[in-house]
Structure 1
Amino acid sequence: MISFLVASAVFLRWLPHYGLGMILLLSLSSAVAFGILFSQRARYRKMLQGVRAERLRADVVAVVLTSLMIMAMGVCAIIMVIEDN
Structure 2
Amino acid sequence: MASGAPRPHGDPGLQPERTALAWGRTMLALVTASAFFLRWLPAYGPPILMLPAVSGGAALAIYLTQRRRYRARSHGLAGESIEADLSAVLWTAFAGVVLGALGVVVVVTG
TM-score, normalised to structure 2, is: 0.74
Give 5+ residue unaligned stretches, structure 1: none
Say whether residues 1:77 and 2:103 are aligned partners.
yes
Q: CA deviation at 1:19?
A: 1.0
Q: CA deviation at 1:31?
A: 0.2
1: distance between equivalents of 2:71 and 2:37? 33
2: distance between equivalents of 1:20 and 1:73? 16
- Structure with higher helix content: 1
Runs of 4+ in 1 over 6 A off after TM superposition: none
Query: Among the aligned pairs, what percent are the same residue?
Result: 36
Q: CA deviation at 1:30?
A: 0.4
Q: Name the Cα RMSD after superposition.
A: 0.7
The equivalent residue for 2:37 is 11
Q: CA deviation at 1:55?
A: 1.2
Q: CA deviation at 1:82?
A: 1.1
The equivalent residue for 2:66 is 40
The equivalent residue for 1:64 is 90
Q: CA deviation at 1:32?
A: 0.3
2: distance between equivalents of 1:7 and 1:67? 15
Which has more radius of gyration?
2
The equivalent residue for 1:25 is 51
TM-score, normalised to structure 1, is: 0.95
Give 5+ residue unaligned stretches, structure 2: 1-26
